[in-house]
């Protein structure tokens, strides 16, 4: 390792974060740091920098360590696949020992931004190694959890949360796709179909739990589009209830202004499918059909309760109001359901809708058909 280059890296990180440095000096330091990240041997320097961040106050030390972790993460993202398997394993073992197992002085603790970077780095490695090349990952983490310091236990918990999103969710989703293909395979035996059926239900139950907390974008990404799968399953008698339950959980999330378009796209997919379904016929399988209709009703009522304000915010346009009208028309279909349980579940939502000033401003024609249907059944 070149000692002069090591000192240059230390200086560049310091200058890039110094409020006393000139704009030109900071820009030059940034450029140096970016160029340094592209070196094939940057990981060697980054590990050394993390272990020996030099002098200065605590913030300066943690800033240098954060940069070292950033370099290592970039190295994993850009060069990991080109490394030989033995070198990958060696690097993984070294970083796990460095970040998770090496003791710290009593009372020492990392700031949140350093902890999060540690987790991000280890998660990126896990995504590329678990489970095939790192089958002992979970036992290793549980061992640290049971025997480690409070600082180590906290880090393990953060890693497990990240792994659930980055590693387990994609793996379970892929298993869901695999088992559904097997379930639909005409040449599959009855035993194979039954086994796939059980695994699909188990996978959907697990994935439903992820929908409560994981980033909103994740379940609609092309590689793990669980929302689209749940919508398609509304047509499948065996899994339609599970699909509706997944969608209901997702509709409880706080999309807000930042993710409003995502919410609108999802409910558009949902209502396009619901619009094609028979929502009133109960025979011949009364119990199963009633359960499904109740789940659909709960999902749409949940959407209205949690997302109506988001749809109407900032003066919705014609497209949004047209979408809302289709949703309300489908709620009307369920409102007239033979089971009063579905009707009663909608009452509070309808009171909210029919008092909403933005909706009332659309004019009488907008609600005319809806009100006629509601009055026709004499339930509101």
With a CB cutoff of 8 Å and minimum separation 6, the contacts of 100 are 118, 122, 144, 152, 155, 156, 159
106/39: higher pLDDT: 39
Tokens of 315: 């003066």
3-state secondary structure 128-194: HHCCCCCCCHHHHHHHHHHHCCHHHHHHHHHHHHHHHHHHHHHHHHHHHHHHHHHHHCCCCCHHHHH
Asked if 220 contacts 273 with a C-beta cutoff of 8 angstroms, the reply is no
Query: In terms of Cα–Cα distance, which of 205, 207, 328, 303 is closest to 248?
Result: 303
Phi, psi of 273 (to 5 degrees): -75, -45
Q: In this predicted structure, which of 24-33, 161-170, 352-361 has the lowest mean pLDDT?
A: 161-170
- pLDDT of 163: 86
Q: Which residue has the tokens 């340094």?
A: 36
pLDDT higher than 90, residue 171:
no
CATH number at residue 80: 1.25.40
Share of the chain above pLDDT 90, in %: 81
Q: What is the mean pLDDT of the chain?
A: 93
- pLDDT of 199: 96
pLDDT higher than 60, residue 106:
no
Confidence of residue 32 (pLDDT cuts 50, 70, 90): very high
Inside any domain, residue 20 = yes
Angle, helix 85-96 to helix 42-51, in steps of 10 degrees: 10
pLDDT higher than 80, residue 238:
yes
Asked if 6 contacts 48 with a C-beta cutoff of 8 angstroms, the reply is yes
Distances (CA, A) of 285 to 273, 277, 336: 21, 16, 19
Confidence of residue 377 (pLDDT cuts 50, 70, 90): low
Inside any domain, residue 140 = no
- pLDDT of 130: 86
Asked if 204 contacts 243 with a C-beta cutoff of 8 angstroms, the reply is yes
What total number of domains does the chain contain?
2
Inside any domain, residue 172 = no
Inside any domain, residue 313 = yes
Find which of 89-103, 104-118, 156-170 is predicted with most confidence, using mean pLDDT. 89-103
* DSSP-H helix ranges across 211-282: 226-233, 240-251, 260-274
- pLDDT of 105: 63
Last residue of a domain, one of 117, 135, 153: 135
Alpha-carbon distance of 237 to 241, in angstroms, equals: 8
pLDDT higher than 80, residue 123:
yes
- pLDDT of 263: 97
- pLDDT of 358: 93
- pLDDT of 59: 87
- pLDDT of 198: 96
Whole-prediction pTM = 0.77
C-beta atoms surrounding 243 within 10 Å: 27
Confidence of residue 107 (pLDDT cuts 50, 70, 90): low
- pLDDT of 252: 97
Inside any domain, residue 325 = yes
Question: Mean per-residue pLDDT for 80-90?
Answer: 95
DSSP string, 282-345: --SSHHHHHHHHHHHHHHHHHHHHHHHHHHHTT---HHHHHHHHHHHHHHHHHHT-S-HHHHHH
Inside any domain, residue 8 = yes
Asked if 321 contacts 358 with a C-beta cutoff of 8 angstroms, the reply is no
Last residue of a domain, one of 112, 135, 158: 135
Question: Mean per-residue pLDDT for 231-238?
Answer: 96
pLDDT higher than 90, residue 191:
yes
Last residue of a domain, one of 119, 135, 151: 135
Share of the chain above pLDDT 70, in %: 98
Tokens of 324: 């809302």
Confidence of residue 73 (pLDDT cuts 50, 70, 90): very high
* Residue 314: domain span: 253-376
pLDDT higher than 70, residue 209:
yes
Confidence of residue 203 (pLDDT cuts 50, 70, 90): very high
- pLDDT of 180: 96
Inside any domain, residue 247 = no
Asked if 311 contacts 268 with a C-beta cutoff of 8 angstroms, the reply is no
Question: Mean per-residue pLDDT for 20-49?
Answer: 95
Tokens of 4: 């002069």
Query: In terms of Cα–Cα distance, which of 200, 288, 198, 219 is closest to 296?
Result: 288
- pLDDT of 376: 80
Inside any domain, residue 182 = no
């Amino acid at each position: 390792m070149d000692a002069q280059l090591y000192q240059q890296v230390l200086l560049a990180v310091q200058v890039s974060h110094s409020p006393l440095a000139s704009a030109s000096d900071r820009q030059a330091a940034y450029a140096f740091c970016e160029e340094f990240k592209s070196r094939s041997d940057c990981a060697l320097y980054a590990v050394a920098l993390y272990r020996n961040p030099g002098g200065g106050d605590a913030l300066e030390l943690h800033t240098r360590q954060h940069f070292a972790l950033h370099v290592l993460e970039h190295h994993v993202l850009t060069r990991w696949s080109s490394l030989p398997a033995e070198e990958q394993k060696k690097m993984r073992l070294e970083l796990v020992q460095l970040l998770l197992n090496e003791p710290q002085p009593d009372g020492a603790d990392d700031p949140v931004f350093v902890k999060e970077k540690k987790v991000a780095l280890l998660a990126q490695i896990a995504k590329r190694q678990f489970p095939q090349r790192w089958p002992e990952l979970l036992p290793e983490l549980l061992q640290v959890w049971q025997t480690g310091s409070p600082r180590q236990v906290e880090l393990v918990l953060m890693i497990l949360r990240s792994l659930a999103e980055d590693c387990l969710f994609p793996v379970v989703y892929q298993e869901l796709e695999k088992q559904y293909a097997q379930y639909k395979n005409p040449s599959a035996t009855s035993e194979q179909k039954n086994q796939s059926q059980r695994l699909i239900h188990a996978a959907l139950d697990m994935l439903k739990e992820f929908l409560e907390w994981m980033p909103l974008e994740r379940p609609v990404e092309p590689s793990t589009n669980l929302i689209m799968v749940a919508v398609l399953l509304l047509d499948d008698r065996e899994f339609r209830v599970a699909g509706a339950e997944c969608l209901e959980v997702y509709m409880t999330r706080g999309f807000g202004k930042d993710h409003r378009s995502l919410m609108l796209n999802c409910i558009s997919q949902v209502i396009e499918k619901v619009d094609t379904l028979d929502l009133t016929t109960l025979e011949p399988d009364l119990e199963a059909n009633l359960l499904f209709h109740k789940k659909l009703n709960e999902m749409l009522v949940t959407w209205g309760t949690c997302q109506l304000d988001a749809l109407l915010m900032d003066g919705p346009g014609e497209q949004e109001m047209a979408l809302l009208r289709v949703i309300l028309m489908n709620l009307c279909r369920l409102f007239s359901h033979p089971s009063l349980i579905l009707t009663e579940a909608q009452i509070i939502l309808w009171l909210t809708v029919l008092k909403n000033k933005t909706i009332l401003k659309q004019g009488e024609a907008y609600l005319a058909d809806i009100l006629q249907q509601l009055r026709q059944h004499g339930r509101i």
